[in-house]
């Protein structure tokens, strides 16, 4: 092994651990290895060491930003084809990262969220109408409807574009191209360079990238031609904003990369969260009952009136339910880090400068020293203010870490509380297949083939 002292699953000559992990279910495979080998283990990927960390105390050390920085490698690096030096795929020391971070922070602030609420509600209403109008035997494809919802929401709040996913059976061509690109760049995982891919796949990849980049460039051009009178969305912030430190603006190319980034980072993660949450509610009737009681008390029975910002802030149990779903299945399940210089963590594990060190978040979120002996149990009371205050902050990292943490966190939480609140206000939900959780892994994770039925509650007004 390259690194002494750090446990490693049995390796084969030359290839090392290249086949230890099941590529189709990589995260679940790594979780099993963490279960077996403990809070830190290493894999030898054909000579390159990969370190997987999932114990809360060790994670606290690798989340120390003075010692470790985010590193963009593997599938994330290949995503630069469409996400370039945008926030998610940019390096921390790239001047464009700091510039965009400074310009975009205000557009994701708590204050800015109020201006997105009417747009979020507009899209949420489309989902409600669809479910209200379904016949009693119609089956709802939960993950697919949640993708429609989150995609259309980021489209409208991001740059005033309507994908109109609720008005079509398949996805908008942009999304088809995005999904193909994500699939291809992800499956290239572990394969050095593009050479091993078939020529037509590579051609398709570049065709898709060109199509997406052109569509977004066109939106930017159009908005510029409106002379600043467009809607108050993220694009507006990006076109008008100046970096307070350098006084500079973002280039049109960088704005394009940010828009692609928001589409990638913002839709599968939030939709996965909503799908997992509905799954857990259906399997935990006592939690569901408390959720209905809170929604009824705060939002009332009149469904013609949309939830206000203040009401969304007064649904702490709904918020705790979402936090707990993100504990068990953090939909962005891994963080890639590397130390600035040779490091020792846990007092004995040496990690040489630059070594790829991954935080395996679903395993971190099951660390029994923090979450108790039965971490698989769905319990929103993990997120009472008292429980949160008493806990090691490194034990819960669904939105990443430090300055490289998720900029869209408030956005995702507001959207999720709004949508879940509106669903519970309106519908009885039925787990008619007695669904058994099956997880589909792409860049994010979500329930696979999850269908329910919904019926308007008898007592709606």
The first and second tokens of residue 133, run together, are 């109008």
Tell me which stretch binds ligand HEM (CB under 6 A): 45-53, 61-69, 114-122, 257-265: 257-265
Active site annotation includes 383? no
Q: Is 237 in the site for ligand HEM (CB under 6 A)?
A: no
Instruction: Name the nearest CA neighbour of 356 among 42, 13, 14.
Output: 42
Count helices and strands in the chain by DSSP H and E runs: 18, 12
Residue 63 contacts ligand HEM per CB under 6 A = no
Stretch that binds ligand HEM, among 43-51, 58-66, 266-274, 387-395 (CB under 6 A): 266-274
Measured from the CB of residue 101, what is the shortest distance to ligand HEM in angstroms? 5
Active-site residue, 406 included: yes
Q: Is 143 in the site for ligand HEM (CB under 6 A)?
A: no
Please pick, among 150, 181, 261, 269, the residue that the annotation labels catalytic: 269
Annotated catalytic residue, options 68, 108, 150, 406: 406
- Interface with ligand HEM (CB under 6 A), residue total 26
Asked whether position 40 contacts ligand HEM by CB under 6 A, the answer is no
Which of 339, 398, 421, 447 is close enough to bind ligand HEM by CB under 6 A?
398
Minimum separation from the CB atom of position 415 to ligand HEM (A)? 7
Of positions 101, 180, 314, 457, contacts ligand HEM by CB under 6 A:
101
**Does 331 qualify as catalytic in the annotation?**
no
If one asks whether residue 450 binds ligand HEM (CB under 6 A), the answer comes out as no
Q: What is the dihedral of CA 367, 369, 370, 373, to 10 degrees?
A: 80
CB under 8 A, 24+ apart: contacts of 49-52: 49/1, 49/2, 49/3, 49/355, 49/356, 50/356, 50/358, 51/3, 51/6, 51/351, 51/355, 51/356, 51/357, 51/358, 52/358, 52/360
40-53 per-residue burial string, b: 16 or more CB within 10 A, e: under 16: bbbbbbeeebbbbb
Q: Is 151 in the site for ligand HEM (CB under 6 A)?
A: no
Q: Would you count residue 205 as binding ligand HEM (CB under 6 A)? A: no
d(CA 108, CA 114): 10
Q: Concatenate the DSSP letters of all residues of 394-418 into one string.
A: GG--TT--GGGS-TTHHHHHHHHHH
Site for ligand HEM in 322-341 (CB under 6 A): 330-332, 335-336
Query: 42: which strand partners?
Result: 51
Binding site for ligand HEM (CB under 6 A): 70, 87-88, 101, 154, 261-262, 265-266, 269-270, 273, 330-332, 335-336, 398-400, 404, 406-408, 411-412
């Amino acid at each position: 092994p390259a690194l002494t002292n750090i446990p490693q699953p049995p390796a084969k000559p030359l290839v090392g651990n290249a086949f230890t992990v099941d590529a189709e279910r990589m995260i679940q495979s790594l979780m099993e290895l963490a279960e077996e080998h403990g809070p830190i283990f290493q894999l030898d990927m054909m000579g390159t060491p990969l370190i997987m960390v999932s114990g809360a105390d060790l994670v606290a050390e690798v989340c120390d930003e003075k010692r470790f920085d985010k590193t963009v490698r593997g599938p994330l690096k290949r995503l630069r084809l469409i996400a370039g030096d945008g926030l998610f795929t940019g390096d921390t020391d790239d001047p464009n990262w700091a510039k965009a971070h400074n310009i975009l922070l205000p557009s994701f602030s708590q204050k800015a969220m109020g201006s997105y609420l009417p747009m979020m509600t507009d899209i949420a209403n489309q989902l409600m109408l669809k479910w209200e109008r379904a016949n009693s035997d119609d089956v709802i494809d939960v993950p697919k409807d949640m993708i429609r919802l989150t995609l259309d929401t980021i489209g409208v709040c991001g740059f005033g574009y309507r994908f109109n996913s609720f008005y079509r059976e398949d996805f908008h061509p942009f999304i088809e191209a995005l999904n193909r690109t994500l699939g291809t760049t992800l499956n290239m995982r572990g394969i050095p360079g593009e050479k091993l891919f078939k020529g037509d796949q590579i051609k398709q990849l570049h065709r898709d990238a060109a199509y997406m980049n052109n569509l977004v460039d066109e939106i930017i051009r159009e908005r510029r031609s409106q002379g600043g009178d467009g809607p108050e969305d993220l694009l507006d912030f990006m076109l008008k904003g100046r970096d307070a430190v350098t006084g500079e603006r973002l280039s049109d190319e960088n704005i394009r990369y940010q828009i692609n980034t928001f589409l990638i980072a913002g839709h599968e993660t939030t939709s996965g969260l909503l799908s997992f949450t509905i799954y857990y509610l259906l399997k935990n009737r006592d939690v569901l009952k408390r959720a209905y009681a809170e929604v009824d008390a705060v939002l009332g029975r009149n469904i013609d009136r949309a939830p206000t910002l203040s009401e969304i802030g007064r649904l702490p149990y709904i918020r705790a339910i979402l936090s707990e779903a993100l504990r068990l299945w953090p939909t962005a399940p891994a963080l890639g880090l590397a130390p600035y210089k040779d490091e020792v963590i846990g007092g004995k594990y040496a990690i040489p400068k630059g070594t790829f060190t991954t935080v395996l978040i679903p395993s971190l979120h099951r660390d029994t020293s923090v979450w108790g002996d039965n971490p698989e149990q769905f319990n929103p009371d993990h997120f009472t203010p008292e429980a949160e205050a008493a806990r090691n902050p490194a034990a819960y990292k669904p939105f990443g870490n430090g300055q490289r943490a998720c900029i869209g966190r408030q956005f995702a939480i507001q959207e999720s509380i709004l949508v879940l609140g509106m669903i519970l206000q309106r519908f009885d939900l039925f787990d008619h297949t007695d669904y058994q959780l099956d997880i589909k892994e792409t860049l994010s994770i979500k329930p696979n083939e999850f269908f329910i039925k919904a019926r308007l509650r008898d007592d709606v007004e």
